[in-house]
Amino acid sequence: MFLCRSALGAALLCAVSIPAIAAAAVPGYVKDAVADRGREPWQRDRDEARHPADVLTFANIKPGMVVVDLIPGDGYYTRMLSALVGAKGEVYAVVPDGGGPGARGSRTNQRDGKAPAENPKDFYLACTLGCYPEGRPAYVLPIDAILAIQNIDEYKNVTAMWEELSAFGGDLSVPKQADVVLTVDGYSQLHRGAPLALVEGVPGRVNGAKGLDVPAFTKSVYADLKPGGYYIVADYAAAKGAGVGAANSLHRSDADVAKAEITAAGFVFDGESSALAKSGDTHVSAVDGQAMERDTADQYLLRFKKPANAPATDKRPTPAQEHAIMDVYYGNTIFHGVSDPKGIVVKDGKVVSGVIAGISPKGDRLRYSYFNADHTYQEMGRVGEGPGPMQSGTWYWDADGHNCEIHQYPIDERQNIVCHVDETPGRKIGVVEKQNPDGTGRPTEIVAGHVYVPNSTVPSK
């Protein structure tokens, strides 16, 4: 119960079961973002049905903020978010990994045209990869539209990221604490189960596609937000009581399920808006077809807040801690494989017995990794010992204390994110350090999934 007033000013005792947010006046910076001339014409054509000014106003996004555009689709909101937060803000556009398991496998399938079975439904995507003879389908990876936005100088505050959200049980890995995480039309995708296991594109690479643990992932979203930050969720509405069963078949989600899952992670339900409501929707038909047809479906719009007094959740190391963790590796050569050691015996930096279980058919995939103080890295291997003899890019820490790489080379993997559990000397971040038995004090595992091969020639500091 709370006090409210009638139109004549009389005090009344009012009751409400859920927070309800009235349409607020649209700030000028939101109007300017929606009017941004860099937006695609076919996206502008959808504004009347999608009400982006109302959504962005409801989301409390302001200039200078750090915003995560989670599951951005074709980037409908990405350009507007970039214009809204401005030069002092940042936008991380996070796309669930590939169109199948693994960046290289997804690209191989793309080049071979192995999926999807039909051309994209939206006409403006039909020739993204060229109009092929004999009706060959255009296999468009979800990241491609976002990479195109990042390449435009006016949107240089956008960082495209494609990552496996199911890593570590469920992980949203971005380089900085965010003010707002926004997902529009994406919540049902989190519940769609394991992605399609496409034909593997890399010999020896296992198709490890699996569904997402949404509660675990939601806790990661919570960790990635600043205290007082917002998680905004809009999605096609399923019928009340439908649960998560409508995600695969109808591409819809139940608003009550979203509320229960998100508040269970520690968020406070902060209100909802009817800006995207559509009357006449029975909530039982699949949201399919072209964009304009999808926009006729009823959508819910919810806002959740991380309490301003929430305990610190950011496990990123301080600069001093980072120095203690990484200094031993700067400029040094690290040998490693890709999985757990099986009775390995190493002499002069070479495996003389035992097996490093890896993706190479030989099971022996030694790599040389250089992590540099300017947050760049290079990783090299010998041709013939597994795919990808060279990788390079930048690295960062995420809120869960994982050390993450943003690949820039090879081009197939550009902006692909791979995160590891840190188990380096000097500091443990959320894990138990595993010392190797050679007495050097170096860890057996540098990162989860990578095995350190002891080598007396590696200098220590």
Assigned domain for 10 exists: no
Q: Which residues of 207-230 are buried (b: 16+ CB within 10 A; e: fewer)?
A: bebeebbbeebbbbbbbbbbeebb
Distance CA 88, CA 32 (A): 16
Assigned domain for 73 exists: yes
Torsion of Cα atoms, 398 then 166 then 72 then 139, to 10°? 130
Same domain, yes or no, for 288 and 186? yes
Same domain, yes or no, for 109 and 220? yes
Assigned domain for 20 exists: no
The single-letter DSSP state of residue 386 is: S
The residue segments making up the domain with residue 116 are 26-305
For the chain, what is the domain count?
Answer: 2
Same domain, yes or no, for 235 and 350? no
pLDDT digits (tens), the chain, 461 positions: 333 433 344 444 444 333 444 456 999 999 999 999 999 998 999 999 999 999 999 999 999 999 999 999 989 999 999 999 999 999 999 998 765 557 777 787 777 777 665 666 776 665 555 555 555 556 678 888 899 999 999 999 999 999 888 888 889 999 999 999 999 999 999 988 765 555 444 444 445 556 788 999 999 999 999 999 999 999 999 999 998 888 888 999 999 999 999 999 999 999 999 999 999 999 999 998 888 889 999 999 999 999 999 998 888 888 877 876 776 667 655 554 444 444 555 555 455 555 444 444 444 455 667 788 899 988 877 666 555 568 899 999 999 888 899 999 988 889 999 887 654 433 333 332 343 344 433 333 333 223 333 332 333 33
Decide if 146 contacts 78 (C-beta within 8 A). yes
Instruction: Write phi, then psi, for 224 (nearest 5 degrees).
Output: -80, -10
- How many Cα atoms occupy the beta-carbon half-sphere of 443 within 13 Å? 24
Same domain, yes or no, for 155 and 31? yes
Of 305, 330, 362, which residue is a domain's last? 305
Same domain, yes or no, for 329 and 256? no
Same domain, yes or no, for 445 and 297? no
* CATH code for the domain of 263: 3.40.50.150
CA distances from 207 to 94, 359, 447 (A): 21, 11, 21
Torsion of Cα atoms, 195 then 159 then 78 then 187, to 10°? 30
CA distances from 309 to 259, 267, 360 (A): 21, 12, 49
Same domain, yes or no, for 296 and 350? no
Assigned domain for 11 exists: no
Assigned domain for 312 exists: no
Tokens of 122: 């939206």
Same domain, yes or no, for 326 and 231? no
Of 249, 275, 305, which residue is a domain's last? 305
Same domain, yes or no, for 90 and 223? yes
Same domain, yes or no, for 298 and 337? no
Distance CA 68, CA 224 (A): 10
Tokens of 151: 């390449």
Distance CA 460, CA 440 (A): 9
Decide if 393 contacts 161 (C-beta within 8 A). no
Assigned domain for 459 exists: no
Same domain, yes or no, for 392 and 280? no
Same domain, yes or no, for 285 and 364? no
Distance CA 115, CA 197 (A): 11
Tokens of 427: 């500091």
Cβ neighbours of residue 386 closer than 8 Å, sequence gap 6 or more: 204, 338, 358, 359, 360, 365
> Residue 76 corresponds to which amino acid?
Y
The single-letter DSSP state of residue 188 is: H
Assigned domain for 4 exists: no
Distance CA 65, CA 180 (A): 8
Decide if 217 contacts 186 (C-beta within 8 A). no
Judge residue 339's burial from the number of C-beta atoms within 10 Å of its C-beta, 0-12 exposed, 13-18 middle, 19 or more buried: middle
- Beta bridge pairs of residue 301: 234, 273
Give the residue carrying structure tokens 């120095």. 323
**Of 116, 283, 105, 264, nearest in space to 188 by CA:** 283
Of 275, 305, 335, which residue is a domain's last? 305
CB under 8 A, 24+ apart: contacts of 367-372: 367/334, 367/335, 367/336, 367/337, 368/333, 368/334, 368/335, 369/329, 369/333, 369/334, 369/336, 370/329, 370/331, 370/332, 370/333, 370/334, 371/326, 371/329, 371/330, 371/395, 372/330, 372/331
Assigned domain for 230 exists: yes
